[in-house]
Amino acid sequence: MKRAYLPLTAVLLVLLAVSCKSGPKEDPILRLAAAESLTLGKELLAKKKYERARPYFTHAFEVEPNSAIGREGLLLAADTYYLQGSPSSYVQAEAKYRDYLNRFPTSVQAPYVQFQIANSLAKRMEKPDRDQSGTRKALEAYQELIRLYPTSEYAQQGQEQIKLVQANLAEHEFQIGRFYLRYGLPPAAVARFDHLLAAFPDYPDKGKVYYHLGIAYQKMKQAEEAQKAFDRLRAEAPDSPWAAKIPAIKTAARTDGASTS
């Protein structure tokens, strides 16, 4: 008995039909127009469903990358990462904001985007006892905001954020100086404390800096410099708890035979 063979074309058609039935379903988002996708994404964003909203914004941008709708989609996609609020999502937010700024540098949204780049960096600042390279990048990003967009509504907010960032950097300098002082390196401590006072004149806790600066000079047997540091503490931070801890300054003994009493 002879076997019946299907033509090759018929076999291919059967395989294609089976493949279509068993394959993954098409993402329904892909069927949406850019405006529809943006609207649905905003509805989810309003409900704080950031991960679910993001594909709609991404699709709106991919469909119309050069339209107002597409640009808004890209920006809102970046916002979903920022609003998600995790260390990794802040990294992704920064990347998305930079992508937006690279594509549309003259956009009216550019000041906001630069502000958000800085915020994404500031959200990842380490504690003062850790590496501060990220903090310095955040400071540079805020300074860039003010340099490029000094009259924008975000410039003032950037100034306020700079104070917080600088306070973190100043505290980092203080902790290094105190470390040097604790481990018997007062000259290195003095260098750190002097740098802190010069670089961060608005540091809110200068009282403790003056106190430890005075102690460092005392350990170096430089009574006059120690007295200057303590005098600045009394004058500039009289209510500081460190003012009550100022030790007595021991003057060097005279060598001309006269009494020092």
CA distances from 169 to 143, 158, 166, 183, 251 (A): 15, 16, 5, 22, 35
Residues found in the chain:
261
In this prediction, residue 26 carries a pLDDT of 76
Q: Which residue bears the tokens 């993001």?
A: 54
Torsion angle (degrees, nearest 10) of CA 45, 49, 54, 57: -30
Rounded to an integer, what distance in angstroms lies between the CA atom of residue 252 and that of residue 260? 9
Q: Which of 44, 81, 39 is closest to 60 using CA atoms?
A: 39
Record the tokens describing residue 120, joined without a space. 């994404």
In this prediction, residue 25 carries a pLDDT of 61
DSSP states of 127-169? PTTS--HHHHHHHHHHHHHHHH-TTSHHHHHHHHHHHHHHHHH
Which conformational region is residue 244 in: left (phi greater than 0), alpha (psi within -120 to 50 degrees), or beta? alpha
Record the tokens describing residue 116, joined without a space. 């958000």
SS3 label, residue 181: helix
In this prediction, residue 28 carries a pLDDT of 87
Per-residue pLDDT of the chain (261 residues; tens, 9 = 90+): 444 444 534 433 444 454 444 444 678 898 899 999 999 999 999 999 999 999 999 999 999 999 999 999 999 999 999 999 999 999 999 999 999 999 999 999 999 999 999 999 999 999 999 999 999 999 999 999 999 999 999 999 999 999 999 999 999 999 999 999 999 999 999 999 999 999 999 898 999 999 999 999 999 999 999 999 999 999 999 999 999 999 987 655 444 433 332
- Cβ–Cβ under 8 Å, residues 207 and 243: yes
In this prediction, residue 250 carries a pLDDT of 67
Inter-residue long-range contacts of 221-225, CB under 8 Å, 24+ positions, other chains counted: 221/252, 223/249, 223/250, 223/251, 223/252
Record the tokens describing residue 156, joined without a space. 């003032």
Overall pTM > 0.85: no
Rounded to an integer, what distance in angstroms lies between the CA atom of residue 20 and that of residue 206? 71
In this prediction, residue 189 carries a pLDDT of 97
In this prediction, residue 259 carries a pLDDT of 32
Buried b vs exposed e over 224-248: b needs ≥16 C-beta within 10 Å?
A: ebbbebbebbeeebeebebbeebee
Report the number of secondary-structure helices (H) and strands (E) in the chain: 11, 0
